[in-house]
A and B are shown apart, each in its own frame.
Chain A
Amino acid sequence: MAREQIQVLNALDVAKTQWYHFTAIIIAGMGFFTDAYDLFCISLVTKLLGRIYYHVDGAAKPGTLPPNVSAAVNGVAFCGTLSGQLFFGWLGDKMGRKKVYGMTLMLMVICSIGSGLSFGHSAKSVIATLCFFRFWLGFGIGGDYPLSATIMSEYSNKKTRGAFIAAVFAMQGFGILAGGIFAIIISVAFKERFDAPPYELDPAGSTVAQADYIWRIIVMVGALPAALTYYWRMKMPETARYTALVAKNTKQAAADMSKVLQVEIQAEPQKEEQKANSYGLFSKEFLRRHGLHLLGTASTWFLLDIAFYSQNLFQKDIFSAIGWIPPAKTMNAIEEVYRIARAQTLIALCSTVPGYWFTVALIDKIGRFAIQLMGFFFMTVFMFALAIPYDHWTHKDNRIGFVVIYSLTFFFANFGPNATTFVVPAEIFPARFRSTCHGISSASGKLGAIVGAFGFLYLAQNKDKSKADAGYPAGIGVKNALIVLGVVNILGFFFTFLVPEANGKSLEEMSGENDEDVGTQEESEQSHSHNNNRTVPYV
């Protein structure tokens, strides 16, 4: 990892403002770090919540959250994210970024603490309050997410744009890692201090009273990186830069200004250019030029997030299904938290984080298109490798192989579409549509996250209703759920062909803003058609 970091710094050395670049990575990256910690730490503690608040006397299995409650606890933050993104996007235009930073981060700090302090004398009020604060935590994260992206765009340059943006985005992996490590520390500490017998020996005693503190501490600690981010961002100097120049939005700015001025009588080519650039969003001209691109970026982000978020939130269920985590009844509550955290942390450490940094190192060398295609391809291959011979993996002797292949799925998600779906929409659209199209693609991604969070939970349940967790209807089983995810990845692979390569090209070149020759456009279409034809033989 240190080697990759040196490479990142070397990439940044090319730019004049090296120190600014480095501090900008940390400051913007802390936003993503915080977002990832807060969004994913809940998956570490949902089993514990089930044991504490849904305990049933005499049941053979420990208590678990019912499907709708589990979906609510896991997914309500994503609904908040969508709302927050819209609200703070509007607010940022009104007030400027620095003030909005303070609000989103303050909201995140308050709601992290509020989540942990979820109060009430009955289980119902605790869970309801937790959902309430998780929604508003997501609201703050929704505001923080695009703001972190904005900080990056002010400091990146053409040569290292992809690596720079990916480096900031890669902090998300560290956030997931931090969540797992912290959960391990807390659960080990509590286990040493408050030992308890496994559930099957002593159902009531296996959940010690102090277990309640574990999930609260893990959730509340999310306030700490948010507070640190707040501190660092307030120390940032006002960015006295023409961000339009850095983001290469000058044409957009000039076009907006020319609408309110008396324009000089221009030579013929200028007029033609103006006419060529005058089409609006969702006009016929836009759809002809960029409709497929927008479909490509939005659909790939949507499909990626279905797979990515469902795997992240429910990997503990997969681990139980293949025996890497023992059956719940053989563990006490604290031990279960420990094993889940350890498993998720190992996946993050060996797959998610390296995947991000591979992308950072290579995105400007081999290009976004190749990385995304390769990522979806290998995700598909490994997903089917797990799903089709699923019975083989459930044998105890083969579970190491399962974990290795499962890890590679995460590796290629992050050395692949998870990073590129964030980078590409910021590069391939004309200036005046760029933020809108990126917003549409991002919203599609959030929608995919919601589908993944709520959908996979039901699918992965055992076909036999008696074996499903309490309250769940029979599902299609882990095997078939993995097959479904594999199909989702295949769709992502094919939709990637709708997205053009942006590596090394300026934003104007990429988005075709300077295209004035209709013939050139036709040639481009021909080339695109030809490219489409090439994919037919593979099918």
Chain B
Amino acid sequence: MGNDAGSPQGPVTCGSWIRRPENLNLVVLGRSRRGNSCPSLLEIFSFDPKTTSLSTCPLTTYVLEAEEGDPVAIAVHPSGDDFVCALSNGSCKLFELYGRETNMKLLAKELAPLQGIGPQKCIAFSVDGSKFAAGGLDGHLRIMEWPSMRVILDEPRAHKSVRDMDFSLDSEFLASTSTDGSARIWKIEDGVPLTTLSRNSDEKIELCRFSMDGTKPFLFCSVQKGDTSVTAVYEISTWNKIGHKRLIRKSASVMSISHDGKYLSLGSKDGDICVVEVKKMQIYHYSKRLHLGTNIAYLEFCPGERVLLTTSVEWGALVTKLTVPKDWKEWQIYLVLLGLFLASAVAFYIFFENSDSFWNFPMGKDQPARPRFKPVLKDPQSYDDQNIWGPVDM
């Protein structure tokens, strides 16, 4: 859809899902300038899970000024109300979503601490939305509290050049990788480096994602070994490597993990994507040349559906339905429970009908539900009650 011939637009450079209330999911796309006729844009699209497609027209559009440059990276706050966009002119801008889906607007705000900091390769929010991190092309790493923007870490020489980074599920660690193949772990609460991931001399750690499953305390890294790209798994209590596995056939360019932590996805420089189940590290979905011959720039799991959003400069934005086993739906569990309930009700009823001897009622089958009471008129208590309404002595 990105290359609709009727209305030429700039190439998609970045994008992200936006989780909205009532299980609604939107997509924000950033487009760069093309010539003089197509300015840089930020567009918001709605996502239709039934057809697995984005809306044909954006819900709203924001036009970037020429001096602002092109959008480079987008990070959406977990609340879904705003997102930060890193621009090629070296600043970051905050955008707030206003209104309902039928009348949506984007409002831009300046973030003073992020003005003129140089082009940022990666920006990210922590899982709980309380921290924000920016990694620059110049290797400068910043971690701040959100929304107060208090500086936690400001490290000008964290890396040669930041390649990728990710917050851990509990917001305790930040992992960052460099273009020279090294990877570092930062302790966020203290704002200090914790360790460097171990690797062999021929290995380059390129991408990193923390596990989102609380029972699996791992960091997944895409490692380039010569011409081969493998996925390595590190344990985050000791930062030792557990093992590795070759998943995607070409060099990996992007990595993502699903919100419930069940699936890991890799996109390659040739346009392939693969989706792996984390528990068994087994490929459940492989799309060859989804973006034919083009580097996949961005890839992310939909918050509530088994759908992937991918973007590339050549082919724009695509949403792909994944061929993975369906999850148990909540209503299916309730159905099982109801079935068990009704089955036991039937069993109880059969027992009830054939179990006179079990209940052992002294009056046999016709034992009444209440004991027989004496006639009301003979009860002195009742007589006294009646008297209350009788004639009163005047």
Seen from chain A, the residues whose Cβ lies within 8 Å of a Cβ on chain B are 51-57, 63, 66, 68-69, 87, 91, 94-96, 99, 103, 107, 120-128, 131-132, 135-136, 195-196, 202, 204-205, 207, 209, 212, 239-245, 249-250, 253-254, 256-258, 260-264, 470-471
Contacts and interface: CB of A to CB of B under 8 A. Distances in A.
A69 B366 CA distance: 17
Contacts of B211: 242
A244 B215 contact: yes
Interface residues of B, number: 59
A209 B365 CA distance: 21
A257 B371 contact: no
Nearest to B128: A240
Contacts of A99: 330, 333
Given A95-B328, A240-B169, A250-B217, A261 B242 contact: yes
Interface string B310-329: 00000000000000000010
Contacts of B244: 261-262, 264
B371 A254 contact: no
Nearest to A131: B348
The secondary structure that dominates the B interface is loop
Contact of B371 (A52, A66, A124): A52
A121 B344 contact: no
Interface in B201-224: 211, 214-218
Contacts of B369: 53, 120-123, 125-126
A69 B352 CA distance: 13
Interface string B224-265: 000000000101111001111100000000000000100000
Given A94-B328, A240-B128, A240-B169, A52 B370 contact: yes
Contacts of A136: 341, 344
B282 interface: yes
Given A122-B368, A264-B244, A68 B360 contact: yes
B242 A258 contact: yes
Contacts of B355: 128
B389 interface: no
Contacts of A250: 217, 235, 237-238
B358 A91 contact: no
A242 B169 contact: yes
Interface string B361-374: 11101111111111
Contact of A470 (B340, B341, B362, B381): B362
Given A132-B345, A241-B170, A250-B235, A260 B360 contact: no
Most chain B C-beta atoms within 10 Å of own C-beta, residue among A195, A207, A242, A261: A242
A63 B368 CA distance: 13
B64 interface: no
Given A96-B260, A121-B369, A126-B369, 7 more contacts: A51-B371, A52-B371, A63-B371, A69-B358, A128-B351, A195-B381, A258-B242
Contacts of B365: 122, 124
A63 B370 CA distance: 12
Contact of B233 (A57, A125, A257): A257
Contacts of A53: 361, 367, 369
Contacts of A107: 337
Contacts of B170: 240-242
